[in-house]
């Protein structure tokens, strides 16, 4: 990482649904700001925040929900699709499964491209890469005429096996671009096998990129007007950032922009505290984002947004339907349930003063764990009487005891989250007990120690500025260019020497990635990682394996055998393997921002003793501003307040600030 030059002004800005978070660094001091988001024109909150603070950042790293929202609300560009003859319906057939098997009448979201704008061309490339039906220029011309007549703003092209031979796609794209169309071509965006997922990703990109392009255009213009005029980078779903120009052409790479920033930030905080293996635990109002990272950001290959599979590299983050606003209710069988419905930001928990439904936040208030006079640094008053009434409305089965009811709500939501955390770990072959839990978001640090007890986790880390961890992650994240190439490369045990086809592919990809970074101005200190998706011949599932520089058949096989052994407990030296995808990840370092330098918002509230219900009963508990915790730490039970979160330290636990200001919580020995 590069220590940011003194005097150079940097800004990380994360636009969320409710708040736009700013983390500003001028080489000496960090400043944290929050502004209400302006969902209709997200750039307004960003620009006014910059204007009001008088900053003129030279470099802005930005997390945006523009692409995600365009997908979720179906407000993207009018898109057309060209496919191989016989496959125009791949987009609607998908994998032919229904999302909820016990739905009386299952539903599926409508496709991004309706029937009338999906077209086929005569052509076919076979599984061995040979052309069995050549492309016909007249046919291409006729199909593109029809695309034009459909008044599509954007065109997606996805032909079968184009990752093996892209010639046909290239010729269609060239002709379409000559006619002035905006085109996303599958072999450029995602040259790997599985036609539905590739088509879906290609279409999604065509659909959201024009929207993203217009947004980033307005933002860049605004930044210039504010006198910043510097570089604008966008956080991608892969946990790295990329220049605005590339982001507006491949906007689908940014659909998990915000969560990726959070994971990058959590991993960074974990490392700083000496815990390379972390579970990032971001619990907000309506949902909780969770990610298991073993020393590096994990990737997942099964992301769907609003029912649409997106296969570009994505941080391994999962959303769980539990948050502070989750609604507690008694079901028809008499069990207490929490969620998945949420009171959201509006009306919000009963204590916010607008709604009456009991939520997790209301339960915390009834248990005195959330000091009503200190919420958001005292900026927002909470109504404990309303929280009490809301919880009382479901208290009948608990002998009308609101305290017992509130405790029950907390234990049920904790059980739900523990279940999700454990499942996510098992799916990755990991044990949650081996990780440290990095808790952030408004509600995360209230639940973290209970979850740690439940999962056998020894250490909880609460970042210094948990409310802007995502913006911090963005500022610090590497600039990352992912390029990949699907192939069919068969390696039987007889192949021991250099595999020239793979070497050439990697060299070409590396060149491509370096050029992309050079366009952004990153020529030196670029690190290259080589990865490959490998499998035994005949299998349908790959393992992603990191490869070194030497690409002999024997070394590849050895790397695969090791990975297979670790995952499945066995490997087979005699069996042929296949290389299915070659991947290059090129990284240029992001900024190192020393967190210990954050200007503390001075919290003047005094420390006091209150009766707070922790676990089974009320206990005399110290309630104090987090900033007042001395270097030697504090023993639980304690409640630590700060502007953007509340930390609960249970009895038997100790919270100690670490050098950079992150709180380390552990059981006292």
Pairwise CA distance, residues 428 & 162, whole Å: 31
By beta-carbon proximity to other proteins, the closer residue of 198 and 622 is 198
Give the shortest CB-560-to-other proteins separation in angstroms. Answer: 14
Give the shortest CB-329-to-other proteins separation in angstroms. Answer: 10
For residues 157 and 202, is the Cβ–Cβ distance under 8 A?
A: yes
By beta-carbon proximity to other proteins, the closer residue of 151 and 574 is 574
Give the shortest CB-533-to-other proteins separation in angstroms. Answer: 13
Q: What is the DSSP letter of 558?
A: H
SS (H, E, C) 85-126: CCCCCHHHHCCCCCCCCCCCCCCCCCCCCCHHHEEEECCEEC
Q: What token pair was written down for 546?
A: 């990191």
Residues 6+ apart with CB under 8 A from 107: none
By beta-carbon proximity to other proteins, the closer residue of 87 and 375 is 87
- Contact residues for other proteins, defined by CB under 8 A: 85-90, 92-93, 95-98, 100-108, 126-127, 132, 160-161, 193-197, 330-338, 340, 397-398, 407-409, 411-412, 415-416, 419, 422-423, 426-429, 488, 536, 538-541, 567-570, 572, 575
By beta-carbon proximity to other proteins, the closer residue of 341 and 600 is 341
By beta-carbon proximity to other proteins, the closer residue of 408 and 593 is 408
By beta-carbon proximity to other proteins, the closer residue of 381 and 396 is 396
Give the shortest CB-468-to-other proteins separation in angstroms. Answer: 33
By beta-carbon proximity to other proteins, the closer residue of 92 and 559 is 92
Phi, psi of 371 (to 5 degrees): -60, 115
By beta-carbon proximity to other proteins, the closer residue of 424 and 584 is 424
User: The tokens 């699907």 sit on which residue?
Assistant: 486
By beta-carbon proximity to other proteins, the closer residue of 16 and 458 is 458
Burial label, 145 (beta-carbon count in 10 A; 0-12, 13-18, 19+): exposed
Burial label, 300 (beta-carbon count in 10 A; 0-12, 13-18, 19+): middle
Give the shortest CB-104-to-other proteins separation in angstroms. Answer: 5
Q: What token pair was written down for 505?
A: 């592919």
* HSE (side-chain half, CA atoms, 13 Å) at 476: 24
93 vs 87, 97, 202, 252, 302, CA distance in Å?
A: 10, 9, 16, 21, 17
Q: What token pair was written down for 402?
A: 């609101």
Give the shortest CB-115-to-other proteins separation in angstroms. Answer: 8
By beta-carbon proximity to other proteins, the closer residue of 274 and 397 is 397
Return left, alpha or beta for 429; rule: phi > 0 is left, psi -120 to 50 is alpha, else beta: left
Give the shortest CB-158-to-other proteins separation in angstroms. Answer: 11
Give the shortest CB-277-to-other proteins separation in angstroms. Answer: 18
Give the shortest CB-85-to-other proteins separation in angstroms. Answer: 7
Give the shortest CB-431-to-other proteins separation in angstroms. Answer: 11
80 vs 156, 169, 172, 197, CA distance in Å?
A: 6, 15, 13, 17
Give the shortest CB-350-to-other proteins separation in angstroms. Answer: 19
Helices (H), 383-443: 384-392, 402-427
Q: How many residues does the chain have?
A: 669
By beta-carbon proximity to other proteins, the closer residue of 420 and 559 is 420
**Using only C-alpha atoms, what is the Rg of the chain?**
26
- Relative orientation angle of helices 469-476 and 257-272, to the nearest 10 degrees: 80
Give the shortest CB-579-to-other proteins separation in angstroms. Answer: 12
For residues 532 and 547, is the Cβ–Cβ distance under 8 A?
A: yes
Residues 6+ apart with CB under 8 A from 205: 156, 184, 189, 250, 251, 252
Q: What is the DSSP letter of 66?
A: H
By beta-carbon proximity to other proteins, the closer residue of 284 and 486 is 486
By beta-carbon proximity to other proteins, the closer residue of 55 and 161 is 161
Give the shortest CB-204-to-other proteins separation in angstroms. Answer: 18
Residues 6+ apart with CB under 8 A from 174: none
Q: What is the DSSP letter of 643?
A: T
By beta-carbon proximity to other proteins, the closer residue of 313 and 339 is 339
Give the shortest CB-495-to-other proteins separation in angstroms. Answer: 16
- Relative orientation angle of helices 167-178 and 137-149, to the nearest 10 degrees: 50
């Amino acid at each position: 990482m590069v220590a940011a030059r003194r005097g150079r002004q940097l800004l990380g800005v994360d636009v969320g649904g409710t708040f736009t978070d700013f983390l500003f660094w001028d080489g000496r001091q960090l400043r944290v700001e929050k502004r209400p988001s302006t969902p209709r024109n997200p750039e307004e909150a960003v620009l006014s925040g910059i204007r009001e603070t008088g900053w003129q950042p030279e470099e802005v790293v930005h997390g945006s929900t523009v692409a995600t929202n365009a997908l979720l609300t179906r407000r993207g560009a009018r898109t057309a699709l060209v496919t191989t003859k016989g496959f125009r319906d791949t987009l609607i057939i998908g994998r032919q499964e229904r999302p909820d098997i016990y739905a009386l009448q299952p539903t599926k979201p409508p496709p991004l491209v309706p029937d009338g704008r999906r077209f086929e061309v005569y052509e076919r490339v076979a599984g061995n890469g040979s052309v069995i039906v050549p492309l016909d220029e007249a046919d291409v011309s006729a199909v593109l005429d029809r695309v034009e007549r459909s008044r599509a703003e954007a065109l997606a092209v996805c032909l079968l096996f184009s990752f093996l031979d892209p010639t046909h796609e290239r010729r269609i794209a060239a002709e379409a671009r000559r006619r002035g169309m905006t085109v996303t071509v599958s072999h450029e965006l995602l040259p790997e096998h599985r036609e539905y997922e590739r088509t879906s990703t290609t279409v999604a990109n065509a659909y959201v990129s024009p929207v993203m392009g217009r947004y980033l255009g307005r933002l860049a213009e605004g930044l210039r007007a504010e006198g910043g005029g510097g570089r604008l980078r966008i956080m991608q779903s892969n946990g790295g950032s990329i220049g605005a120009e590339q982001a507006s052409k491949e906007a689908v790479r940014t659909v998990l922009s915000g969560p990726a920033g959070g994971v990058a930030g959590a991993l960074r905080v974990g490392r700083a505290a000496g815990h390379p293996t972390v579970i990032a635990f971001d619990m907000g109002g309506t949902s909780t984002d969770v990610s298991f990272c073993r020393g590096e950001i994990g990737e997942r290959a099964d992301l769907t947004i609003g029912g649409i599979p997106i296969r570009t590299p994505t941080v391994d983050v999962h959303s769980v339907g539990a948050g502070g606003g989750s609604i507690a209710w008694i079901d028809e069988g008499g069990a207490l349930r929490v969620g998945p419905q949420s009171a959201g930001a509006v009306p919000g928990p009963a204590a916010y003063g607008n709604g009456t439904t009991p939520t997790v936040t209301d339960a915390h208030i009834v248990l005195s764990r959330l000091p009503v006079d200190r919420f958001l640094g005292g900026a927002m008053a909470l109504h404990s009487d309303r929280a009490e009434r809301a919880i009382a409305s479901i208290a009948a089965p608990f002998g009308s005891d609101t305290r017992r009811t509130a405790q029950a709500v907390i234990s049920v939501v904790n059980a739900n989250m523990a279940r999700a955390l454990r499942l996510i770990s098992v799916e990755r072959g990991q044990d949650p007990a081996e990780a440290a839990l990095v808790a952030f978001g408004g509600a995360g640090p209230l639940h973290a120690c209970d979850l740690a007890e439940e999962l056998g986790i020894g250490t909880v880390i609460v970042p210094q500025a948990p409310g802007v961890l995502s913006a911090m992650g963005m500022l610090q994240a590497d600039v990352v260019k992912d390029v990949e190439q699907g192939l069919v490369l068969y390696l039987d045990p007889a192949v021991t020497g250099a595999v020239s086809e793979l070497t050439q592919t990697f060299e070409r990809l590396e060149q491509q990635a370096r050029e992309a970074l050079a366009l952004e101005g990153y020529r030196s200190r670029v690190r290259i990682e080589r990865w490959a998706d490998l499998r035994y011949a005949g299998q349908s599932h790959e393992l992603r394996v990191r490869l070194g520089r030497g690409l002999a058949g024997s070394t590849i096989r050895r790397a695969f055998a090791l990975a297979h052994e670790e995952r499945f407990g066995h490997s087979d030296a005699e069996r042929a393997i296949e290389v299915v995808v070659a991947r290059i990840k090129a990284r240029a370092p992001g900024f190192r921002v020393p967190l210990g330098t954050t200007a503390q918002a001075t919290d003047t509230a005094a420390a006091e003793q209150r009766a707070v219900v922790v676990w089974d009963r009320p206990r005399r508990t110290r309630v104090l501003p987090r900033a007042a915790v001395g270097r030697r730490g504090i023993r639980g039970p304690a409640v630590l307040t700060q502007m953007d979160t509340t930390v609960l330290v249970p009895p038997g636990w100790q919270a100690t600030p670490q050098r950079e200001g992150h709180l380390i919580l552990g059981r006292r020995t």
